[in-house]
Structure 1
Amino acid sequence: MANQKMLGFVHTAQRMPDKRPAAERRLDFNEIYARFSDPRAGEQANRCSQCGVPFCQVHCPVSNNIPDWLKLTAEGRLEEAYEVSSATNNFPEICGRICPQDRLCEGNCVIEQSTHGAVTIGTVERYINDTAWERGWIKPVAPVRELGISVGIIGAGPGGLAAAQQLRRKGYEVHVYDRYDRVGGLLIYGIPGFKLEKDVVARREQLLRDEGVQFHLGFDVGRHASLADLRARHAAILIATGVYKARDIQGPGSGLAGIVPALDYLTASNRTGLGDTVVAYENGTLNAAGKNVVVIGGGDTAMDCVRTAIRQGAKSVKCLYRRDRKNMPGSQREVAHAEEEGVEFIWQAAPEAFVGDSTVTGVRAVRIHLGVADATGRQTPQVIEGSAFTIEADIVVKALGFDPEDLPVLFGAPDLKVTRWGTLPVHHATKMTSLEGVFAAGDIVRGASLVVWAIRDGRDAAESMDAYIKATVAGEAVKVAAE
């Protein structure tokens, strides 16, 4: 193009894609942002300053080459922008939708620090890759040659899928085992459609199938086959199960009906949206319609729950969190969306007991004072004496985080070492667990974290698995042939 691009922030303000009005979007589970038009995407990409040290890239877990694909977008070279975007990320259009950019790339944008407002990196990333799908640029990639060696991956979430694609493109026969009936893990059942519409995940699944990845769904490791059985079938194994055990909360009344884990609640909603018949949703157990809902927690899962309850037609939705707004772990954008949609946040309050006979009717909470900072730098919550109050509730959703399941017991592998938190310790450079040829990636290693970190871990594990196989299995084959 004739005109010099970039540095547009000096004359062009930050502008997000059009957002649907709250009154409209609370009625359905569709995504809340429209897509950028071609001119708008170029205009916003043009705001990038092309700074010498790209802090956006530094703070991206997959090290996306963000300045380059912003420049290519500003110049109208979208296919090249797509190639650069997908070179470091297996699912860029998914990350463009669900990454907490305000805590990662955009939060560290130099323009953001200079008060001009960050480049809208996530929405441009989504625009580039949605355009690539629509124009047919994304096609199955066949390996240069088939190696005739198989690998097994336990878990069809983002970490497992990223590793599967990387290994398949290297020529391995890839088998992915997952206990659920659909591919995607939390991308399908944990994240609501208003953040990630499910056809976005489905087209990625189809691409992986077209590339030759083989899926074994409804497959419980430990029941259908032990970990030892899978190790005997494959040259290497990757454990990418994620963490699914909900953290609980104790106290008087915690066993009352109507107090439900967040993932059960979200899964029921997502399954219903996918057309499944969910008895617990239809009988009202996991359906907020016409009810007073209280969600306990302050992370992104809690935000997903409160916004889901609004869309289900709840009478009222309150979020109870023991710290203040600036100390919550969830995305500030998600909090803003929730407030627009009618969620009430009760900051610095924690549940003390649950009220009701057999079914919950209320949450008794106490006010919290934030005291001195602890070793992590966060202020320590302290109960204010005599501050108890009761919130009416027909459903209480516990969104307190997730812990690993007991994998040695679950997989029939008592020699698989775990940390005191239940996560899998791995060699920091190779991602190998305590078992020879068994690797691990994602939340099962680092604890509950972000999708983009799972993708990074899956890609790193795939490289290590490839190096391990070439050094051992392939090496043995060469030795036998020589004899």
Structure 2
Amino acid sequence: MAERMLQFVRLPQRPPEKRDAAARSHDWAEVYRPFDPAAAAEQASRCSQCGVPFCQVHCPLHNNIPDWLKLTAEGRIEEAYEVAASTNSFPEICGRVCPQDRLCEGNCVIEKGFASVTIGAVEKYITDTAWERGWVRPPKPRRELPHSVGIVGAGPAGMAAAERLRVKGYQVHIYDRHDRAGGLMIYGIPNFKLEKEVVLRRHAQYEAGGIVFHLDCAVGRDVSLAELRARHDAVLIATGVYRARDIACPGVGLPGIVAALDYLIASNRKGLGDAVPEFDSGALDARDKDVVVVGGGDTAMDCVRTAVRQGAKSVTCLYRRDRANMPGSMREVANAEEEGVRFAWLAAPEAFLGDARVTGVRAVRMHLGLPDATGRQQVEPIPGSHFVQPADLVIKALGFDPEDLPAMFEEPALAVTRWGTLKVNHRTMMTSLPGVFAAGDIVRGASLVVWAIRDGRDAAEQMDRWVKAKAAAEAAPMAAAAE
């Protein structure tokens, strides 16, 4: 191991080559070029193989990162993929979209002084190699079970649960209101971060494994939750959260002010070749416009970088805190700055200006005050610091809240929390309805893809346990009667 690993003292960190900002800002291809196999092995060998792997501890999926780094350094890529896939349903997606700088790489023990191992890039390399060489196989069970499960939502939580349950032998049916599987992975995340083919090939692979998809099928419109409960032995709700948070400012209803998800879905659909009237009309197209994005999370970064690629005249991100307090990935912020995005730190909108449509945002400078109960510094306006930021298109990227699922599903007994998320027993992941489970953002609130995968896999284990216990309880009286 000493020969292959612990090379951080000799080798500097070298991520995959980043495409030039001037070139990449005009297309939708990925920012980073593929890892060369020799470079991937070399960078993997920088791992210190520490006794307490904080990269693994701080990964929501607790991926066996030191193990697959060592296997990669040794050239044993197929084994590395098997280790990565044993804990992660979509390692090729996490390698692309996870904020590694806040999770595994940000907690790498060699980060202080030597720069972290490029964990995300190696993970992407391992899995892309596995797909190229045909090592990724459909989720087929050793034996079929008579039980069926219904999953509402084809996003990362629903898909991860479906894969786990199918491997166990269940008859799995996924219901989704959209016309493609993937949820926000297909419609919310832009192509330059996650190519759509990466998601679509998982859909095809799952169908090949026997998972049945019911697309363009909305629960509450095309089928009721009661029908799904009667049809399946257990049901998982993994709808995600889609209702955009709004801002209470004068002029917020002016034409030209749009929600982030509407904007991103239109762009992604256009890239997929769909007819998108709202884009073709110019309402959701940033070309030749002064664009202002309000917000500071990863969704805001997706919006500003999408606007650049659509040919915006200027792109400004308005965020009420400073760079250090920004919730989005610092890597994404750096990429956006390279591509020409201007950040107005410590600035909050007060009003939207215009008559027939928006023409600008009146904002006020902020300063960070005392910490609140959570320990985060409060923001307070600076008197007399108002300014106007010209805008032809304003995109609100303020986060997402749950939709009213009890009303949508016509199931008032489905209990929710005071935040509108589904209330579950966190030990069993079951909702207030027997046999109905929930996972992902609809339980924890808007979060990361990797957390949704973790929740989906955990929910699958709990559903399997519950279905088998129920079947055993129903079979016991029959067995006793037969004796």
Q: Same fold (TM over 0.5)?
A: yes
Alignment partner of 2:113: what SS?
Answer: coil
Correspondence for 1:28: 27
* Cα pair 1:322 1:381 within 8 Å, conserved: yes
Correspondence for 1:361: 359
Normalised TM-score (structure 1): 0.98
Equivalent AA in structure 1 for residue 79 of structure 2: E
Alignment partner of 2:145: what SS?
Answer: coil
Within 5 Å, give how 1:162-177 maps onto structure 2: 162-177=160-175
Correspondence for 1:122: 120
RMSD: 1.0
Alignment partner of 2:385: what SS?
Answer: coil
Alignment partner of 1:175: what SS?
Answer: strand
Q: Deviations over 1:126-172 (max 9, x none)?
A: 00000000011111242111111110000000000000000011110
Correspondence for 2:73: 74
Q: Say whether residues 1:379 and 2:358 are aligned partners.
A: no
Alignment partner of 1:426: what SS?
Answer: coil
Correspondence for 1:218: 216
Shift of 1:369: 1.0
Correspondence for 2:333: 335
* Cα pair 2:175 2:214 within 8 Å, conserved: yes
Q: Which runs of 5+ in 2 are unaligned?
A: none
Correspondence for 1:178: 176
Q: 2-side partners of 1:358 and 1:46: how far apart?
A: 60
Q: 1-side partners of 2:472 and 2:178: how far apart?
A: 33
Q: Deviations over 1:240-262 (max 9, x none)?
A: 00000000011111110000000
Q: 1-side partners of 2:134 and 2:368: how far apart?
A: 53
* Cα pair 2:346 2:365 within 8 Å, conserved: yes
Correspondence for 2:468: 470
| Residue in structure 2 matching 1:237, options 232, 235, 238 | 235
Within 5 Å, give how 1:391-410 maps onto structure 2: 391-410=389-408
Q: 1-side partners of 2:269 and 2:119: how far apart?
A: 31
Correspondence for 2:294: 296
Q: Which runs of 5+ in 1 are unaligned?
A: none
Within 5 Å, give how 1:304-453 maps onto structure 2: 304-453=302-451
Q: 2-side partners of 1:141 and 1:385: how far apart?
A: 60
Shift of 1:205: 0.8
Shift of 1:475: 3.3
Correspondence for 1:268: 266
Correspondence for 1:95: 94
Shift of 1:481: 5.4
Shift of 1:183: 0.3
Equivalent AA in structure 2 for residue 106 of structure 1: E
More displaced 10-residue stretch of structure 1: 370-379 or 253-262: 370-379
Q: 1-side partners of 2:124 and 2:476: how far apart?
A: 45
Correspondence for 1:246: 244
Q: 2-side partners of 1:60 and 1:123: how far apart?
A: 15
Shift of 1:375: 1.3
Q: 1-side partners of 2:289 and 2:480: how far apart?
A: 73
Correspondence for 1:49: 48
Q: 2-side partners of 1:274 and 1:150: how far apart?
A: 32
Shift of 1:270: 0.2
Alignment partner of 2:12: what SS?
Answer: coil
Percent identity for Structure 1 against Structure 2: 70
Shift of 1:482: 5.0
Q: 2-side partners of 1:345 and 1:470: how far apart?
A: 54
* Cα pair 1:235 1:473 within 8 Å, conserved: no
Q: Say whether residues 1:286 and 2:284 are aligned partners.
A: yes
* Cα pair 2:139 2:163 within 8 Å, conserved: no
Alignment partner of 1:225: what SS?
Answer: coil
Shift of 1:377: 1.4
More displaced 10-residue stretch of structure 1: 469-478 or 347-356: 469-478
* Cα pair 1:178 1:220 within 8 Å, conserved: yes
Structure 1 outlier segments of 4+, above 3 Å: 477-483
Shift of 1:478: 5.1
Equivalent AA in structure 2 for residue 313 of structure 1: G
| Residue in structure 2 matching 1:457, options 438, 455, 458 | 455
Shift of 1:120: 0.2
Equivalent AA in structure 2 for residue 164 of structure 1: A
Q: Deviations over 1:390-421 (max 9, x none)?
A: 01000000000000000000000000000010
Normalised TM-score (structure 2): 0.98
Q: 2-side partners of 1:142 and 1:157: how far apart?
A: 20
Shift of 1:190: 0.1
Alignment partner of 2:299: what SS?
Answer: helix
* Cα pair 2:290 2:312 within 8 Å, conserved: yes
Q: Deviations over 1:7-41 (max 9, x none)?
A: 00000000110010000000111111011111000
Shift of 1:480: 3.3
* Cα pair 2:139 2:206 within 8 Å, conserved: no
Shift of 1:328: 0.6
* Cα pair 1:324 1:348 within 8 Å, conserved: yes
Q: Deviations over 1:56-111 (max 9, x none)?
A: 00000001000000000000011100000000000000000000000000000001
Equivalent AA in structure 2 for residue 135 of structure 1: R
More displaced 10-residue stretch of structure 1: 466-475 or 22-31: 466-475
Q: 1-side partners of 2:367 and 2:140: how far apart?
A: 58
Q: 1-side partners of 2:308 and 2:480: how far apart?
A: 68
Alignment partner of 2:446: what SS?
Answer: coil
* Cα pair 1:354 1:363 within 8 Å, conserved: yes
Q: 1-side partners of 2:302 and 2:37: how far apart?
A: 30
* Cα pair 1:17 1:123 within 8 Å, conserved: yes
Correspondence for 1:58: 57
Q: 1-side partners of 2:139 and 2:216: how far apart?
A: 27
Alignment partner of 1:110: what SS?
Answer: coil
Correspondence for 1:199: 197
Equivalent AA in structure 1 for residue 124 of structure 2: R
Q: Say whether residues 1:84 and 2:114 are aligned partners.
A: no
Q: 2-side partners of 1:274 and 1:474: how far apart?
A: 47
Q: 1-side partners of 2:108 and 2:225: how far apart?
A: 44
Alignment partner of 1:93: what SS?
Answer: helix
